[in-house]
Chains A and B, each alone.
Chain A
Amino acid sequence: MINKVVSDAEEAIKDISDGATIMLGGFGLCGIPENCINALVEKNVKNLICISNNAGVDDFGIGLMLKKRQVKKMISSYVGENAEFERQLLSGELEVDLIPQGTLATRCLAAGYGMPAIFTPAGVGTEVAEGKEIRNFDGKDYLMEYAFDADFAIVKAWKGDTAGNLIFRSTSRNFNPVMAMAGKITIAEVEELVEAGELDPDYIHTPGIYVHRIFQGKDYEKRIEQRTVRKVN
């Protein structure tokens, strides 16, 4: 087996430099690569183009990178939880490309499946369609959307092995598997790293071929954005 293990987040991101296009897995704060985000903040790389469904919150996740003005452009579907993001956007300091969530996911998928583009009805007749090619299939209009071209994809998994195989847990799976497939270089941080052979091949979500570097993360905060409970009875 090819060994994909690196020591830590710092080593995993060592060649991410200014101006890189990076994908970051997660939905809200669920399943985000906390260790790599912190390492990117520490490294202080600038002018990043970030592809991620959300932009974190003011003091956690991608919000930390926004606060340090490391992000030139965000490509996201929903950024409602981040006041600093909204401020930078309205003041023109930050470029943003808001795209439908399914389009975002499927553009990742296309990249990982080696397909240059997809056709989706999402956004037809709206400002999302501006400048895009429209094709009609069976009487319905579809937008042509290109596969993403990202230098790096950074994902968070529950378990991984030294061969780079990944298993995700619960809804922290979200964008992580499709982004893992989409990066030219894919970095996976996992809660538990095991030897190749310890994970059942039938239960692998992301095959190791898509993963270039893997390490066991530490000190996961796993912050909950909207803690919602029901009363007993």
Chain B
Amino acid sequence: MAFTKEEIAQRIAKEIKDGYYVNLGIGIPTLVANYIPKGINVVLQSENGLLGMGPFPFEGEEDADLINAGKQTITTLLGSSIFDSAMSFGMIRAQKVDLTILGAMEVSENGDIANWKIPGKMVKGMGGAMDLVASAKNIIVAMQHINKAGESKLLPKCTLPLTGVKCIKKIVTELAVLDVLPEGGFKLLERAPGVSVEFIRQSTAGKLIVEGDIPEMRLD
């Protein structure tokens, strides 16, 4: 069974370590906040200018002045801090943020990522994604392995306009957990329960590297 979006988020959450400052992108990455392992201290950064992002407010307690990068109403926590947009990207550029989790439309086997534009169709802009991928020391991509037509999104080379080059090191999809190797290639680390290595191979257009037995992903 391929993983749901919630399960992808749950698997990624296992990568978060005590003491991390983490930036979560829009979409599946936002869900990761729900699965941060108990007993560890993590500070979420929202690039519009907040460290220490708390949960959504209770109804009636929404504050129009307090939103996250997805423009959703949120709350602060004890120890939160607020700053301007330049400082926010300053701490990203200076690699103070330990982990960035973001979505992608395509990733290539050399670690290029495309997630901001479909020429002629979608022109929403890159927001902070280009800054994040260019500077983050540790990036995990949450994405669909194959699109609705069954076509692979893990490619030899991206077809869409790039967001960043040679920057992605780890990918979690509905089918698998993979590392992008510095010398190129997707190294298969884990597979979703019941999903065969063969199916992952068929679903990966880029170079897939399989060594030894591949364990199933565990969420606990």
Contact = CB atoms under 8 A, between A and B. Distances in A.
Contacts of B83: 173
Given A27-B48, A30-B48, A78-B127, A123 B85 contact: no
Interface residues of B, number: 53
Contact of B62 (A86, A109, A178, A227): A227
A210 B188 CA distance: 54
B49 A120 contact: no
A98 B49 CA distance: 20
A77 B125 contact: yes
B66 A106 contact: no
B152 interface: no
B193 to A, nearest CB: 30
Interface string B114-147: 0000001001111111110011000000000000
A89 interface: yes
A98 B62 contact: no
Nearest to A126: B162
A230 interface: yes
Interface stretch (B53-61, B172-180, B212-220): B53-61
Contact of B48 (A76, A80, A125, A174): A174
A116 interface: no
A125 B111 CA distance: 12
Given A79-B123, A101-B47, A226 B93 contact: no
A108 B161 contact: no
Interface in A66-102: 76-81, 86, 89-90, 96, 98-102
Contacts of A101: 47, 85, 89, 126-128, 131
Interface string B157-174: 000011111100000000
A228 B72 contact: yes
A40 interface: no
B49 A227 contact: no
A125 B71 contact: no
A79 B125 contact: yes
Contacts of B27: none
A40 B36 CA distance: 46
B196 interface: no
Contacts of B56: 228-230
Interface string B71-90: 11110100000111110111
Q: What bracket does the count of chain A residues touching chain B fall in?
A: 35 or more
Given A121-B134, A171-B50, A173-B83, A102 B93 contact: yes
A42 interface: no
B183 interface: no
A229 B58 contact: yes
A2 interface: no
Nearest to A158: B65
A105 interface: yes
B70 interface: yes
Contacts of A178: 84-86
A53 interface: yes
A225 interface: yes
B89 A102 contact: yes
Given A28-B71, A120-B93, A78 B85 contact: no
Contacts of B66: 170-171
B92 A102 contact: yes
Nearest to A53: B85
Contacts of A169: 65
B134 A177 contact: no
A104 B86 CA distance: 8
Interface in A118-133: 120-128
B162 A80 contact: no
B108 to A, nearest CB: 12
A31 interface: yes
Contacts of B49: 27, 171, 173-174
Interface of A: 27-31, 53, 76-81, 86, 89-90, 96, 98-106, 108-109, 120-128, 158, 168-178, 205, 222-230, 232
17 contacts: A30-B67, A30-B71, A31-B65, A77-B125, A79-B125, A80-B124, A98-B126, A102-B86, A104-B85, A122-B130, A125-B162, A125-B164, A126-B165, A127-B161, A170-B76, A174-B49, A228-B72
